[in-house]
Structure 1
Amino acid sequence: MALRVALLLLFASLSAGCVLSGDLNPMKTSKGRDEAREAYVQLGLGYLQQGMTERAKVPLKKALELDESDADANAALALVFQAEMEPELADRHYRKALASRPSDARILNNYGSFLFEEKRYKDAYQRFEQAAADTLYPERSRVFENLGMTAAILGERALAQQHLEKALRLNRQQPRALLEMAELSFEDRHYVPARDYYDRFSLLSEQNARSLLLGVRLATVFEDRDKVASYGLQLKRLYPGTPEYQQYLSEQ
């Protein structure tokens, strides 16, 4: 509603400008079009955040009518199509956005996340690398977290650890990076740091099937029977049909 009001106020001010000037139409000026386009993009993103993807397309289409190459409008529309599980359309608009703004770390990171979802891991890694090159990007820690997760899937364990450690140096409170580091450390039989990463993860995030299985394994190593029982019970109750629960059963 606030975004809608903002858009209405914008056009009210534009109309007022027309009356005052008598012959000037702000929508024909560069500044007026830019302000309208930005307002349309924000309105579209507001609808997207509420899960209203169909309504989001209306203002985003209007933004593109003002400038079909606008990076923000294309990036927002890519997110809309990504949410609607239209990968070809999402990919097309991500590319259009990057054609206008090829070094935008936010768009590069979002595009990398989309490619990761599509299991295009090598392409995703490349986009994350490009995003990480912007040393002033405020979400750079998440880019390195994404690099680490992608490198791990690609089988580059040492590189994955390097990226995840970098992510945690930039921001210690990243649950995904902490869980991944706990998993990698456990696999390397570095049980004390694995437990430290795991404990930090547990303070920041709810448990999932993967983390509960790792919790069981760590508790077994440290002979904490109460935690073994607790994590096992949570796996059974919350994730009975998962591969993690079947793995838990096979290890008991």
Structure 2
Amino acid sequence: MAACQTQSTLGKKDPEKAIQVRTQLAAEYIKTGDLDSAKRALDQALEIESRDSAANMMMGILLQQEGSKVSMDKADAYFKRAISTDPKNAQARNNYGTYLYQTERYNEAIEQLNVAGTTLGYDQRFRALENVGRIYLKIGDVENAEKSFKQALQANRDSYISMLELSEIFYLKQQTAAATQLYEQFARGVGQKNQGARALWIGIRIARANSDKMGMQVLVNQLRALFPESPEYQRYLQLQYSTEAVWK
């Protein structure tokens, strides 16, 4: 009862602070997977002010996390309200863009993510640009994907996703020197032994293009040992005797 009285008093004395506290609490609940408690906290926040941008954004995230069709449909309205209330809320645009990407509304996602990605001072703008690049790759627009990944690297020189994606783009364009530089930078950044199957497969193809048989074999051994059932290793087995200039 004391806790309820304290929360109620806070809501009356300082509504803005009360909304902020409940929204932050909901974020913590979402991180731990306690979606019911997060929903209760956000209902309280939105009861105080139904158009609060941060609370609406967090409700969108919560419903997206729950993932059912009903929740996903509801999430859209909360994200839109968050942005309409505060069009400069880059985090809301980034989260809405991620939601639109997940629901395969790619053109809308690109629009929202590009706004977040070009908002100077927003510390996650490089991630928004990475996602723009991924969407462009998904829809087959390699030229714009390359531009987006380059922008992400300008925003954050440690954008490892952009390094890896650009290294494959350059490899496929037979720009081997640029591909090699970025792949090596990526491998140093994440650690040689911490690469996933896709990263190793990109490295294998770049090493082959450089006629680096020893380096290629090291990566093949790593791929075989760590990811023997992966599509990447199966692809290597298919192509290992191929004489094609570019392995795809």
TM-score (norm 2): 0.84
Question: What SS does the corresponding residue of 1:88 show, helix, strand or coil?
Answer: helix
Confirm or deny that 1:240 pairs with 2:224: no
Stretch of structure 1 that moved more, 194-203 or 144-153: 144-153
Aligned counterpart, 1:123: 108
Deviation at 1:133, TM superposition (A): 4.1
What is the CA–CA distance in structure 2 between the aligned matches of 1:249 and 1:118, rounded to whole Å?
34
Confirm or deny that 1:47 pairs with 2:42: no
What is the CA–CA distance in structure 2 between the aligned matches of 1:233 and 1:66, rounded to whole Å?
59
Deviation at 1:43, TM superposition (A): 0.6
What is the CA–CA distance in structure 2 between the aligned matches of 1:54 and 1:44, rounded to whole Å?
9
| Native 8 Å contact 2:203 2:216 kept in 1 | yes
Aligned counterpart, 2:196: 208
What is the CA–CA distance in structure 2 between the aligned matches of 1:136 and 1:102, rounded to whole Å?
15
What is the CA–CA distance in structure 1 between the aligned matches of 2:218 and 2:93, rounded to whole Å?
41
Deviation at 1:53, TM superposition (A): 2.3
- What is the root-mean-square deviation of aligned Cα atoms in Å? 2.2
Aligned counterpart, 1:183: 168
Change (3 A) 1:201 1:51: farther
What is the CA–CA distance in structure 1 between the aligned matches of 2:96 and 2:134, rounded to whole Å?
15
Confirm or deny that 1:228 pairs with 2:216: yes
Deviation at 1:134, TM superposition (A): 2.3
Q: Which runs of 5+ in 1 are unaligned?
A: 1-7, 16-25
What is the CA–CA distance in structure 1 between the aligned matches of 2:37 and 2:228, rounded to whole Å?
38
Deviation per CA, 1:70-98: give whole Å up to 9, x if none.
11111112212222223223323212222
What is the CA–CA distance in structure 2 between the aligned matches of 1:156 and 1:229, rounded to whole Å?
32
Question: What SS does the corresponding residue of 1:230 show, helix, strand or coil?
Answer: helix
- Residue 155 (structure 1) aligned to one of 114, 137, 140: 140
Structure 1 stretches of 4+ with a deviation exceeding 3 A read: 26-29
Aligned counterpart, 2:6: 11
| Native 8 Å contact 2:59 2:75 kept in 1 | yes
Change (3 A) 1:148 1:27: closer
Deviation per CA, 1:20-52: give whole Å up to 9, x if none.
xxxxxx6435xx111111100011111122232
Q: Partner amino acid for 2:21?
A: A
Change (3 A) 1:234 1:35: same
Change (3 A) 1:248 1:158: same
What is the CA–CA distance in structure 2 between the aligned matches of 1:27 and 1:51, rounded to whole Å?
26
| Native 8 Å contact 2:45 2:55 kept in 1 | yes
Identity across matched positions, percent: 29
What is the CA–CA distance in structure 2 between the aligned matches of 1:226 and 1:251, rounded to whole Å?
18
Aligned counterpart, 2:117: 132
Deviation at 1:246, TM superposition (A): 1.8
What is the CA–CA distance in structure 2 between the aligned matches of 1:84 and 1:204, rounded to whole Å?
34
Deviation per CA, 1:53-78: give whole Å up to 9, x if none.
23222211111111122111111122
What is the CA–CA distance in structure 1 between the aligned matches of 2:180 and 2:201, rounded to whole Å?
13
Change (3 A) 1:57 1:193: same
Q: Which runs of 5+ in 2 are unaligned?
A: 241-248
Q: Partner amino acid for 2:136?
A: A
- Residue 79 (structure 2) aligned to one of 94, 106, 114: 94
What is the CA–CA distance in structure 2 between the aligned matches of 1:168 and 1:133, rounded to whole Å?
13
Confirm or deny that 1:110 pairs with 2:105: no
- Residue 28 (structure 1) aligned to one of 7, 12, 17: 12
| Native 8 Å contact 2:11 2:48 kept in 1 | no
Question: What SS does the corresponding residue of 2:158 show, helix, strand or coil?
Answer: coil
| Native 8 Å contact 2:93 2:112 kept in 1 | yes
Stretch of structure 1 that moved more, 233-242 or 40-49: 233-242
